[in-house]
Structure 1
Amino acid sequence: MYKATTQQIQVTVEPSFLESESAPDDSRYFWAYTIEIANLGDAVVQLRSRHWRITDANGRTEEVRGAGVVGEQPVLKPGETFSYTSGCPLTTNSGIMVGSYEMEGENGDLFSIDIPAFSLDLPDQRKTVN
């Protein structure tokens, strides 16, 4: 499990390799990751957008940006959490993901929170943050 807290917003990530969705002979590896976003502060916030940097074992990096997450832009009141699961395909058997969410406060101000770097490793591999 990986955690980061920025401006009283905590992001926790739990990645898992999906063997049933992977085909190593075809250089296809697939991971799911579950993210929980917790509002530890005392103000309402809304997740507006995401930015990911995904790097495979060969050093190839892809950047992904978009509105919200899994089609939603959740509003989190103080003490509330929002969880979702998504996935990441790679052509190598390991990689790393890191990113940020753009949040909007009650006053309309936008601010960025960190998504912790997390490794995508096969279950029998030693865990590393490439």
Structure 2
Amino acid sequence: MVSAITEGVKVSVEVTYQPEFSSPHQQHFVFTYKVNIENNSPHTIQLLRRKWEIFDAGDEMKIVEGDGVVGQQPILEPGGSHQYISGCNLKSGLGKMRGSYIMEKIQDGKIFQVTIPEFQMISQIFNN
């Protein structure tokens, strides 16, 4: 698990290779990642947008952007947290992801960026 803290917001990510959904001989490797966002700031915040940079050893870097996370734009009170699970497919069994969230402080409308720490995606073929 990797973590990063930005302006009191802690983002932790844990990644898992999914061999039962992968087909290495067809260059299809599936990974899931569980993200936990903790609001340790004194402000109520809302996650508005996400941006991911996806690096695949067998392909070019991809950028994925959009509103919220898995269809939600959660509001986190001070001390609150939000957890979700998502996934990524790679052509190789080796890659990494990193990114950022755009957040808003509800009280004053201030927009700020929160770092999503870089994490590795390594399939079993590289671990044997």
- TM-score grouping bracket, smaller chain normalisation: over 0.9
Distance 1:124 1:2, change over 3 A: farther
TM superposition outliers: structure 1 runs of 4+ over 6 Å: none
3-state SS of paired residue (1:10): strand
3-state SS of paired residue (2:25): helix
**2:59–2:91 CA contact under 8 A, matched in 1:** no
Aligned to 1:53: 53
Normalising by structure 1, what TM-score? Answer: 0.93
CA distance in 2, matches of 1:59, 1:87: 17
CA distance in 2, matches of 1:123, 1:26: 15
Task: Specify every segment of 5 or more residues in structure 2 that has no aligned partner in the other structure, as ranges.
Answer: none
CA distance in 2, matches of 1:61, 1:119: 14
Query: After alignment, is 50-59 or 12-21 more displaced?
Result: 50-59
Aligned to 2:91: 91
**2:2–2:118 CA contact under 8 A, matched in 1:** yes
Establish whether residue 40 from structure 1 lines up as the match of residue 40 from structure 2: yes
Normalising by structure 2, what TM-score? Answer: 0.95
Matches within 5 A, 1:1-130: 1-58=1-58, 60-106=60-106, 107-123=108-124, 125=126
Q: How far is 1:58 from its partner?
A: 3.4
Task: Specify every segment of 5 or more residues in structure 1 that has no aligned partner in the other structure, as ranges.
Answer: none
RMSD: 1.1
Q: How far is 1:125 from its partner?
A: 3.4
